[in-house]
Chains A and B, each alone.
Chain A
Amino acid sequence: MFPRLVYESFRRQTRRKLLAGVAITLGVAVATAMIAVATDIGDKINHELRTYGANLVVTPQEDTLDVEIGGVNLKPPSDGAFLNEQDLPKIRGTFWHHNIVGYSPMLPVTANLGDHAADPVTVLGTYFSKPVHFGKDDVVTGVRITHPWWKVRGTWPDDDSPDVLAGEHFAAKLGLKPGSQIRLHGKPHRVVGILSTGSAEDDQIVAPLAVAQEVLGKPGAVRRVYVSALTKPQDAFAVRDPNTMNPQDRDRWYCSPYVQSIAFQIEEVIPHSHAEQIRQVAQNEGTVLSRIQGLMLLVTLAALFASALAVSAAMATAIFERRAEVGLMRALGAGSLSVAALFFAEALLLALLGGVVGFAGGSLLAHQIGRSIFNSQISIEPVLFPIILAIAVCVTFAGSAAAIRRAVRLDPVFALRGEA
């Protein structure tokens, strides 16, 4: 009899059930989408923060002081120590290699321009977008990834070609355009693009690393490497010295993607190197990230609250409409318990149905938000499904409870006469 009552209730009151069902579905969809976005926003914003550029710099351990004012290096170019270009792919061999978005080696050298006998110019050798092979990994790295604010008018040079970029101030001074020819140390080079960075590179020539190494006469030499890594905001544990930790703490520190532990791991794989965080980028990341995460948490709570309210309101309405039915059941001798059980069973069915459809809808919504705002997937944890379903059932029950209690308490006489 009980299943039949529930079945008939759904069959005969399709419209009303649909109304409550739609409310639950929408509520669950909004909640799912918001929870998915909020749990993933940290990762997404972390990726976006990489537009600020590298957060780690690797230099030779025994380097001499930089003597640099306004981007002009006054140190003799062959002075000081170098890193070996061959060691760089090992960065991809560190524990947190999946968190390393990219790296760019830099080698500033000074060169004389053949036909412009004027001042020597700084030639900055680097990777633009170079395929690098390490173990089973094939990745592309260079300034186009680590320095996304560098803009080129014309085309980017190929890393294996002798083509170069001219900084915009430098190009304006010499009247260079994409396609112009210049001579560096007696060899002709084609300027394929004009580079605008808003900093020192605007007065320099930026060339593939091999070109700068040739000018310097030191194949394989790299002055410093900028590494862009996804990191976890720094906390008190992050700044501790790993050498003073006990083995468990050290493992935990080593296996957390703090900027400090990534620097430590880079030093391990690149011989005679010193890796350090670029504080301007690394320190602020944490603050911005935690602010945005806090904000999204707040918004998610508001969304959950609003959906819970909407579901409760819809359920209360749906039950209130059926007072006459309750009166009839009571008049026929049904106890409060069986009446309440009927309503709760209906609510459970509605919540489960609405929960499943809402979860699917919410996942789609989260997916759309991820696609349109961040150009990437928002991953939805499967563990979220039972949680969302449980929340949907709880909220539906809570929303129905007050209405059911009042419906059951009604005097059947008044209820049947519609006077309640």
Chain B
Amino acid sequence: MSTSPVMQTPQQVADRRSGGPHTSMFLRMLVRAAVLRRGRAAAALFAMVVAAAVATAMMNLYVDVQAKLRTEFRNYGANVVVVAKDGQNLPADALTRIESALGPKALAVPFSYAVARTQDGKSVVVAGTDFARARQLNHWWNVSHWPNAPEDALIGMRAAAVVSPNRQPFDLTFQEHTIHLTPVGLLQTGAGEDSRIYLDQSAFQNWTGLTPSTIEIAVTGSTLEIEQGIEQLTQVLPTADVRPVRQILEGEANVLNKTRATLYAAAALIVLTAALCVLATLIGWVFDRRRDFAS
């Protein structure tokens, strides 16, 4: 008769005996079922894994796609515009204030405008801007060459026909001050920009003495986040008018909502089908073993 090397209380022994064989038998049935019916088990497992993967992928896609599309929609350019109120100027540090208020989710581009005269007395709108930022904001601008020197100008298609038909350097006058410009690039947008001449902001300011009067901002985020952004801007720039660009905001909201709704319907259908697949597999699995349950 063997004795147990470790003394156990009667309670411990009872626990071991009641729990032990029971658990191991259950495990054994599970393991044997999986091993003996390898094909069946693998098929069921495969169906479950695939169904779960498809369902998870759809849900992920549904959540992720909105952020992806929002970034895509920012290609439409600014959705918020800050302009100086009548008779007032934007503060000199407006751009810094906007950037610190909105953080990295916004891209702000300053614009200043003046009406200058060409040598033969025609009026033309000249705008000063930060080319690096404008390039990032306005993806749709069709530019033959971006300027990089201070006297380089980017001229709109229609303005070019008036001020520099042969791409020769030209002079512009603003309140007795004359600037000599070289047209390095042509700009085509199909809108008002085509009639303007764009200069670097510092060159523009040296020439006209005017500071930016408009700041165009592209804010990425949901409608709510953009509204909050507008509110923040109104607080940090009390002398300015902060306006949402309704054309862009409403277009985006509309297309995004429709896409989201379609995707939602599709995701629901796919998850339903995946569930059906799991159901069919499990029904088969159970039916197959009816005898094992002695039913």
Chain A residues at the B interface, C-beta cutoff of 8 Å: 19, 23, 26-27, 30, 33-34, 37, 41, 44-45, 48-49, 51-53, 56-57, 63-70, 74-75, 147-149, 151, 196-199, 276-284, 287-288, 291-292, 295-296, 298-300, 302-303, 305-307, 309-310, 313-314, 316-317, 320-321, 365, 369, 372-374, 406, 418
Contact = CB atoms under 8 A, between A and B. Distances in A.
B192 interface: yes
A309 B277 contact: yes
Given A51-B250, A302-B54, A279 B273 contact: no
A303 to B, nearest CB: 5
B189 A66 contact: no
Given A49-B251, A288-B73, A306-B274, A317 B287 contact: yes
Given A19-B283, A291-B72, A303 B195 contact: no
Given A68-B125, A303-B270, 20 more contacts: A23-B276, A26-B272, A30-B269, A51-B255, A66-B125, A67-B195, A149-B250, A196-B246, A199-B247, A278-B189, A278-B190, A280-B140, A284-B139, A288-B69, A292-B255, A296-B266, A298-B61, A305-B50, A305-B54, A320-B284
Nearest to A289: B255
Contacts of A48: 254-255, 258
Contact of A279 (B140, B159, B263): B140
Contact of A369 (B141, B188, B265): B265
A79 B192 CA distance: 17
Nearest to A370: B262
B71 to A, nearest CB: 10
A313 B140 contact: no
29 contacts: A19-B283, A27-B276, A30-B269, A30-B270, A49-B251, A67-B195, A69-B125, A198-B244, A278-B191, A279-B140, A279-B191, A280-B76, A280-B140, A280-B189, A283-B140, A284-B140, A287-B72, A291-B68, A292-B255, A296-B262, A299-B58, A299-B267, A302-B57, A306-B54, A309-B274, A373-B258, A373-B262, A374-B258, A406-B39
A106 to B, nearest CB: 12
A10 to B, nearest CB: 19
A169 to B, nearest CB: 9
A279 to B, nearest CB: 4
Interface string B172-191: 00000000000000001111
Nearest to A368: B265
Contacts of B263: 295-296, 299
A45 B247 contact: no
B273 A30 contact: yes
B55 to A, nearest CB: 8
Contact of B123 (A75, A284, A292, A372): A75
A53 B247 contact: yes
A57 B54 contact: no
B247 A316 contact: no
Among B123, B251, B291: residue with most chain A CB under 10 A: B251
Contact of B276 (A26, A45, A292): A26
Contacts of B140: 279-280, 282-284
Contacts of B158: 63, 65-66
Give chain A's interface secondary structure class.
Answer: helix
B47 interface: yes
A279 B272 contact: no
B280 A23 contact: yes
A313 B280 contact: yes
Contacts of B280: 19, 23, 310, 313-314, 317
Contacts of A287: 72, 75
B245 interface: yes
B147 interface: no
Nearest to A317: B284
A305 B113 CA distance: 57
Interface string B190-221: 11100100000000000000000110000000
B165 to A, nearest CB: 13
B51 interface: yes
B195 A69 contact: no
Among A34, A198, A291: residue with most chain B CB under 10 A: A198
Nearest to B260: A373
A51 B284 CA distance: 51
Contacts of A37: 262, 265-266
A122 to B, nearest CB: 14
B83 interface: yes
B76 A52 contact: yes
A369 B262 contact: yes
Nearest to B254: A51
B270 A306 contact: yes
Contacts of B214: 70
Contact of A199 (B54, B246, B273, B274): B246
B65 interface: yes
Contact of B283 (A49, A280, A317): A317
